[in-house]
Amino acid sequence: MFKKKTHTAFNEAQQIELAQKDHRHFGPLYERYFEQMFRFIFKRLGGNEEVAGDLVQQCFMKAMANITKYEDRGLPFSAWLYRIAQNEVNMFFRSEKKNYTVEISDRQLYSILEENGEGSVRQEDLDQLIEIINNLDETQTDLIELRFFQELSFKEIADIYQISEANAKMRIYRLLEKINTNWKRES
């Protein structure tokens, strides 16, 4: 008697297209990516829940406002969102008058040293490594953070910066070489 209501499953491209026409259709995209973006921002802030909540809302607000400008260039939609989130977090860090401290565990630092081929490391070496990272410029610190502290793949980093995977690898390995040189100079 009653016709069974059929639900049309929209794929991501269709959802983006709908959201570009009317912002109220942004909901499914928000549902799909909220957790991912919150985790990313939360970790970048070293676990500051309240600020992460504000920044994630800010990030999605910007995404909604600019979705009409979004063009599918073969990169995942999440890369575009990551880029917005990355900018939001960096703007927050810049706006902080005092230094904003992000805690990094020894395990995360060891992963940098492992990549650099360092076997046995003393505690002082880790302090020295942190100092070297803190003296890098913002873009370089971001790359180190994304790769070793956020544990993103080269592909994900490449998508965020809209560069090739090979280029992302090259940038990070050059950066590791720089860290290594500074480390050897200081020790």
Partner 1 sequence: MRKFQRITNEKSKEPTKEQLVRYKDFASLSHKYERLAKRPKRPLYKDPKLFLLLLIIGLMFLLVFLES
Scan residues 144-163 and list those touching partner 1 (CB under 8 A). none
Q: Residue 5 or residue 97: which is nearer to partner 1 going by CB?
A: 97
With CB under 8 A, what is the number of residues at the site for partner 1?
42
Scan residues 10-69 and list those touching partner 1 (CB under 8 A). 23-24, 26-27, 30-31, 34-35, 38-39, 42-43, 46-47, 49, 52-53, 56-57, 60-61, 64-65
The Cα 133–Cα 182 span in angstroms is 10
Q: What is the DSSP letter of 25?
A: G
72 Ramachandran zone, left/alpha/beta (phi>0; psi -120 to 50)? beta
Asked if 70 interacts with partner 1 (CB under 8 A), we say no
Question: Burial, 21: exposed, middle or buried (Cβ in 10 Å; 0-12, 13-18, 19+)?
Answer: exposed
Q: Residue 41 or residue 158: which is nearer to partner 1 going by CB?
A: 41
Asked if 72 interacts with partner 1 (CB under 8 A), we say no
Site string (122-141) toward partner 1, x via CB under 8 A: ----xx--x--xx------x
Q: Residue 145 or residue 156: which is nearer to partner 1 going by CB?
A: 145
The Cα 24–Cα 84 span in angstroms is 20
The Cα 148–Cα 160 span in angstroms is 15
CB of 140 to partner 1, least distance (A): 13
The tokens for 37 are: 């973006």
Answer for which of 5, 7, 73, 94 binds partner 1 (CB under 8 A) is 94
The tokens for 9 are: 């499953």
Answer for which of 84, 93, 180, 182 binds partner 1 (CB under 8 A) is 93
> How distant is the alpha carbon of residue 35 from its chain centre?
13
Q: Report, in angstroms and rounded to the nearest whole number, the Rg of the chain calculated over CA atoms.
A: 20
